[in-house]
Each structure stands twice: as C-alpha cells, then as structure tokens.
Amino acid sequence: MGKMVQLTASDGHTFGAYRAEPAGKPKGGLIVVMEIFGVNSHIRKVADEYAADGYLAIAPALFDRVQRGLDVGYTPQDIEIARALMQKMNFADAIKDVEAAMQQIASAGKISIVGFCWGGSVAWKSACNVRGLTCAVPYYGGAIPGMIAEQPKCPVLCHWGETDQSIPLEKAKAVAAAHKNQTHYFYPAGHGFNCNERGSYHAESARLARTRTLDFLAKHVG
C-alpha cells in the first residue's frame, strides 16, 4: 500500500501525490496521471499494481491547483464536477507538477509516465515537453488530436478505444498516421475501458493494454 506525500512545483505550488513503493529495488520510476476524477481509489490501485510489478509509482494530484484533494467516483454528478474542474486546468501547470513528481522518484532511475483520459493527454504533452522521460503511455487522451503537431522526445505507446465517444476514431487514426514512428493500439472498447469502476470497463482490452504497457516499460525502463 502506498501513502500520500507532499510535493512542490517550480512555481511554489504545493500539492499531494500518492506514492507506492515496490518490494525490492525499483526497476524504474513511473508517474501515474489521473483521469479527471482525482487520485481516487482506482488511480491508487493502478499505482499499487505498478509498484507490485517493481516500479516506484507516484500519482500526483494535478487538480490540487483548482480543488485540493479531489476524490470522486463516476456518477453523472461526479462527472459534472470533474469536467468543470478540468476546464480550469491548463497543461503548462500540469507539466510543472509532472516535473516535481519526477524529482520525487528520481532515485528509482529511469522514469516513465502513464496517463488515463485527461491524464493520457498530460502524458502525451509531457512526452513532447519534459526532458528526461524514458517513455510515455497515454490511454485515450482526448486532447491528443489537438496536439498532433507536437513531437514526442521519447518513445510513446498510445492506447485508443474504437468506440470512444469522446475521441472520434478518425481523429485517433490521424494521430497514429502522423506519428507512425510511435506505437498505437486500437481496442474494441470505449472511453475509460481500463477503469473497472466505470460502466465502460472492458476487461479483455484492459488486460491486453496492461500487458503491452508492461512489455513497453520493460523494454525502455527495465
């Protein structure tokens, strides 16, 4: 089980993060970027699972800039709250917090980033703008098509859902075509298919995507 820690970004902003330690010496570090629902039970579980696989995992509470300690579920009301907070966020601030999270786990060696939903977009943005990341794994990042012109500085593995209502398939395919040198997988699933607490959970796609992610991390991080 992990624990909450406090981080400080380059602009002095302090924020929380969930840190999960592996049993032995870390294979590397992994930043786990939340969906719009905060560092909730699902994101903590994801971090715990990657720690069990040998990575020092940290899930920064990126929405602390607009509302501290956000931890909501997936009811229509939760979604409304979370979407409103997302509108107040900008990627430049998220990047500062990602960099602070990198410093927190620097002792683990090579550092990668995995993100889901809004966090998938943050993972892509980080791959394009943050120095020192070894690789990045965005899951269904809705803002990625709008950042298609940005060039990743590290290897990227993108997971896309073919029936994702919030990312038109042709837009995801356009990203894959524009970034052929990166890895793109498409799944017969919708938005949020990795989250077993959401109605859109698709067990087979989630399992396959996680296996591919672990292989990708093993190749690039260790």
Per-residue tokens: 105: 């786990």
Tell me whether residue 191 is one of the annotated catalytic residues: yes
Which of 164, 133, 121 minimizes the C-alpha distance to 31?
Answer: 133
Catalytic residue (choose from 42, 179, 191, 202):
191
Residues 165, 99: Cα–Cα separation, whole Å:
31
SS3 39: coil
Cβ-contact 48, 2 below 8 angstroms: yes
Q: Given 48, 64, 97, 164, which residue is catalytic?
A: 164
Q: Look up residue 108 and give its amino acid.
A: A
**Residues shown for the chain:** 222
Alpha-carbon separation of residue 39 from 23, 24, 68 (angstroms)? 22, 24, 11
Report d(CA 54, CA 25) in Å as an integer: 8
Active site annotation includes 117:
yes
Q: Which of 42, 48, 64, 117 is catalytic?
A: 117
Backbone angles phi, psi at 141, to 5 degrees: -80, 110
Residues labelled as active-site residues: 117, 164, 191
